[in-house]
Each structure stands twice: as structure tokens, then as C-alpha cells.
Amino acid sequence: MSLYCVYISMEALMKKILPVFAVIAILLSACGAGNAQPTAISLPTAMPSSTPAPANAPAEVVSGGEAGSERVSSVDGMPQVYIPEGTFRMGGMDPDVQRDEEPVHNVTLKPYWMDKLEVTNAMYTLCVQAGACELPQTLKSETRQSYFNNPEFNDYPVVYVTWYQAKSYCEWAGRRLPTEAEWERAARGDDFRTYPWGDARPDSSHGNFNYFVGDTTRVGNFPAGASPYGVLDMAGNVAEWVADYYDADYYSQNVTVNPPGPGERSEFFNRVVRGGTFQDAFKDIRLANRASVRGSNPSADDIYSADYLGEFSPKIGFRCASD
């Protein structure tokens, strides 16, 4: 066969193959839709040091009292976001609303500061070094045997902490656990959105959920999922302890000004957790979603008992707030 014939045959073959390549490229592109990749942003994060930070040191004010302005804690390096006084609509207002998210009601809150990030392993280590916090109940995570004590995961959320451990940390840092209402307003702002970023169905650029990762991710890694005030990681990664006891019917009590949550009830110590986890489907990372987890009972006789500790999980962490 002449070289000319070979050339003609190869040209004909390529004309047949190229359309196949084009179809494959289109299919691969379609498979990637809805699985966009997040872009990490640089955030100040505390690093453990040999010198414990002083307890209850005041936060440094970085900018004034405008909505979304920030300051940084001199205790643990946590950036905090200013949430102004105002009234917002609280509860579920989307097709996936759950019974304990009703009725929807107006809530008025005084101004406060909310941690921009979930408390990290490195930050929590500072509290342990200061002698004000106990170690997490286990040092691993969902899939990593070495997690809390591994510098590779310094900037990842601390997990396996009880409700009382979260409370103790916030008090050491000069802050407190947020109320459920404060958490929801920091996530929602003053409109009726379903997720912190709006009403768009979440994909993997908005947060760590639906086992896209299968474990925790670095805090602040999903800027596309920021709330109206710029608070991060309020949908997925880890669920977050808040101050309130859980009561499925609490919204019907119509407490509309700085609601503290229901009072303590004998033998019932369940607390609210918010925000969903790295395993949850999209409907469970809605900002109105509420979950009930057994909290700590510091009045229990045995400090090592399940009654004293309550539940803890590789899927639960926390953030703090302050007046």
C-alpha cells in the first residue's frame, strides 16, 4: 500500500474517532455538574504554643459596629462577625420544613458577635494547655485515627466534645455558646432564605455534606457557602452545639425577644445542635433544621458516666458568641 493510501486511511479513521471523543468530553462535563470544587481562602487561625493564652482576654476590635464587621480574639485567634440588633423571621419556610421548625415567628435580638468559624483543634489545644479544658473524648475523627493531636489537622474543627466541654471552652475564651435564635439569624440574615448563601440547591462548592469528603474539612474552606454576614461553615462540616435545651414545641410558645430556649426539665438534658454534618443530605443542612442530642448533666455524681458527659460524636463541634 502506498504512503498516500495510508494517509487517506488514517484521515478517514480520525474523522470517525473525533466525534466519539467529543461525545465523551460532553458526558464527562455533565457528570461534573453540581460537584463544583471549593476555593480555599486564607483565614487567621490560632496555633498551639508552649505558653498558654490568658483566659477571658478581650477581643481586639478590627472594625466598627457595622453588620458583618470583624474583630479577632486575642485568646484563641478566632475572627468574630458583628450581628446588629434587629428582627428576623425564624423557622422553616421551604418545602422540606419539619414540624419542630414551626410555627414561623418573628424574633428580635440584641446585637452580638458570632464566631466566623467553627472552633478548631489548634484553638481547643490552647484551652487544654491553659488547664481550662479537658481533652476531647477521643482524639480520632470519623476516618482518621490521628486527628486532634496531629498538626496536619490543626485548622480542622474539634470533634468528640461534649456540650459541657463546648461551654467550658467558650467561657475560657471570654465568650459563650450562642442561643439557637442567634445561630439562625447569623446563618439567615433578615430574609427568608433556605441556606446561608440563599435558595440555590447546594453543591460541593457550598459546603462539606452528603459524604462528598467523608470526614471533616479545614474550616473556612467554602467561601461560596458564607451567610449574609460572612459567617462560614454553617451548613455541613460538623453540626454545632448551641446553648438551648431542645423542645420540639418551643416555637409555639411565641417567645419573640432574645429567646433563651426552654428551661431545664428533670431527667431531660437534650440540647439543640445546628448546621448539619459532612454526612447529611441537602435537606438536613437547611439553616432552619434542628436536631436534638443528649447534652451534659454536670449534676450527675459520676463525672465519667454517660449521664454526666452526655453524647459526643465525630460529627459535632461548636462555635461561640459574645455580647
For residue range 215-233, what is the model confidence (pLDDT) as tens digits? 999 999 999 999 999 999 9
pLDDT at 303: 85
Q: Three-state SS string across 179-205, please? A: CHHHHHHHHHCCCCCCECCECCCCCCC
Alpha-carbon torsion angle 270, 271, 273, 279, nearest 10: -20
Alpha helices in the chain (DSSP H): 3-32, 121-129, 163-172, 180-188, 306-309
Based on the number of CB atoms within 10 Å of its own CB, is 22 exposed (0-12), middle (13-18) or buried (19 or more)?
exposed
Looking up cell 466598627, which residue turns up?
64
pLDDT at 50: 34
**pLDDT (mean) for 121-133:** 98
What whole-number distance in Å separates Cα of residue 76 and Cα of residue 294? 27
Is the pLDDT score of 36 beyond 50? no
**pLDDT (mean) for 111-116:** 98
Is the pLDDT score of 53 beyond 50? no
CATH fold, domain 59-322, is: paralog of FGE (formylglycine-generating enzyme) (3.90.1580)
Is the pLDDT score of 188 beyond 60? yes
Average the pLDDT over each of 85-89, 94-98, 161-165, 305-309 and give the range with the smallest value: 305-309
Q: What is the maximum span of the chain, computed from C-alpha positions, in angstroms?
A: 95
More confident residue, 303 or 56: 303
Strands of the sheet with 112-115, listed across from one edge:
59-61, 70-73, 79-83, 112-115, 321-322
CB 132 within 8 A of CB 167: no
Is the pLDDT score of 31 beyond 50? no
What confidence tier does 235 reach under pLDDT thresholds 50, 70, 90?
very high
Mean of all residue pLDDT scores within the chain: 85
What confidence tier does 37 reach under pLDDT thresholds 50, 70, 90?
very low
pLDDT at 4: 35
Domain ranges of the chain: 1-33, 59-322
- pLDDT tens readout for residues 269-310: 899 999 999 999 999 999 999 999 999 998 888 888 988 999
pLDDT at 17: 41
Is the pLDDT score of 66 beyond 80? yes
pLDDT at 304: 85
- The number of beta carbons lying within 10 Å of the beta carbon of residue 114 is 24
pLDDT at 41: 47
pLDDT at 43: 53
pLDDT at 16: 41
Give the chain's count of helices (H) and strands (E): 5, 11
Rounded to two decimals, the pTM is 0.82
The vertex-152 CA angle with 225 and 35, nearest 5°, equals: 35
- pLDDT tens readout for residues 261-277: 998 775 678 999 999 99
Is the pLDDT score of 7 beyond 60? no
- pLDDT tens readout for residues 98-107: 999 999 999 9
Distances (CA, A) of 191 to 66, 87, 221: 18, 10, 25
Average the pLDDT over each of 30-44, 157-171, 173-187 and give the range with the smallest value: 30-44
